[in-house]
Structure 1
Amino acid sequence: MTKINYFFRHEVAEKVREEGREEGREEARVEERAEVILRTLDWRGIELSEADRERVRSCGDLGRLALWLDRCYEVTDAAGLFDGDGEGA
């Protein structure tokens, strides 16, 4: 009997699936970090415009989100969150 190798069991298919899973985990980390920033600012009573909220939610850079997360505990207004981070408004 001939052994049948199905593509979904092939190492290339396994690699593609794992890359997809990792990409999904990365997206989840980005979304979660953005939501924590927004919830923390809301809890602290820092008002954000809808444009600022969208700016946080649309950021895909975990490093920048980490910076904003650190800042969200100390800022007194929305401008302080984004000041000097090198990103255009």
Structure 2
Amino acid sequence: MADLSFYISPLSEEIREEGRAQGRAQGRAQGRAQARGENILILLDARGIDVTDAVREKISACIDLEVSREWLIRAVHAATAEEIFGPTR
């Protein structure tokens, strides 16, 4: 019979808790990125700027918080939705 004591050891529990903490952190970051994408789309809509399906998909798929922050800032002044994807500062 195999020795399964590792699976109930403090070290094993510590490893599992690290994994859970990393998963929670990733989930929170994804949630923030998703919310920021929604905010960009709301802002563009409120400004009366047309958003193509391709642009909507690109904004919705972005999980990089720094990139989406830049897009949000640009969305304040952009004349078209595509302008938010311009070069970074």
TM range (shorter): 0.7 to 0.9
TM-score, normalisation: structure 1: 0.81
Partner of 2:32, secondary structure, is helix
Instruction: Tell me, yes or no, if structure 1 residue 55 matches structure 2 residue 47.
Output: no
Residue correspondence of structure 1 range 22-37 to structure 2 within 5 A = 22-37=25-40
How many matched pairs?
81
Structure 1 segments, 4+ long, off by >6 Å, are none
Shift of 1:79: 2.4
Query: Which residue number corresponds to residue 85 of structure 2?
Result: 82
Question: Gapped runs of 5+ residues in structure 1?
Answer: none
Q: What CA distance in whole angstroms lies between the structure 2 residues aligned with 1:56 and 1:12? A: 35
Question: Gapped runs of 5+ residues in structure 2?
Answer: 1-6
Root mean square deviation of aligned Cα: 1.9
- CA shift in 2, pair 1:7/1:27, >3 Å: farther
One of 8, 33, 39 as aligned partner of 1:6? 8
Q: Which amino acid aligns with 1:24?
A: G
User: Percent of counterpart pairs with the same letter?
Assistant: 35
Task: Kindly indicate which of the two structures has a greater share of residues assigned to helix.
Answer: 2
